[in-house]
């Protein structure tokens, strides 16, 4: 297994203006790569934030509607029950 397949992705939460719910996706990108994509999109009012999740689905948000972007390490999925 190479480093690329073992690298955990990040969870990205995008707040959209005038919308009660946020967009949540798991991205295979590194945190700094997501940050660069967000920064590039926000440079222009007419820009678009385009991210692809780990299943290949694409999310497109107009830059002028982005309220916030939260980037966090993705939680590893655990199977089973934990003892108290």
Give the domain CATH number at 63: 2.30.30
User: Would you place residue 81 in the very low, low, confident or very high pLDDT band (cuts 50, 70, 90)?
Assistant: low
In a domain, 29, yes or no: yes
What does the longest C-alpha to C-alpha distance in the chain come to? 51
Q: What percent of the chain stands above pLDDT 90?
A: 71
Condensed to tens digits (0 to 9), the pLDDT of residues 11-48 reads 999 999 999 999 999 999 999 999 999 999 999 879 99
Condensed to tens digits (0 to 9), the pLDDT of residues 64-76 reads 999 999 999 866 5
User: Could you give the 3-state DSSP secondary structure of residue 74?
Assistant: coil
Torsion angle, alpha carbons of 13, 16, 21, 24, to 10: -20
In a domain, 84, yes or no: no
Q: How many domains does the chain have?
A: 1
In a domain, 83, yes or no: no
In a domain, 38, yes or no: yes
Domain of 28? Answer: 3-73
């Amino acid at each position: 297994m190479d480093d690329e397949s073992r690298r955990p992705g990040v969870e990205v939460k995008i707040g959209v203006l005038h919308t009660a719910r946020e967009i949540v996706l798991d991205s295979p990108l590194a945190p700094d790569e997501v940050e660069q994509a967000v920064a590039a999109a926000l440079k222009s009012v007419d820009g678009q934030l385009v991210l692809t999740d780990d299943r290949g689905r694409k999310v497109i948000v107009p830059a002028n509607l982005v309220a916030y972007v939260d980037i966090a390490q993705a939680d590893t999925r655990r199977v089973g029950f934990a003892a108290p």
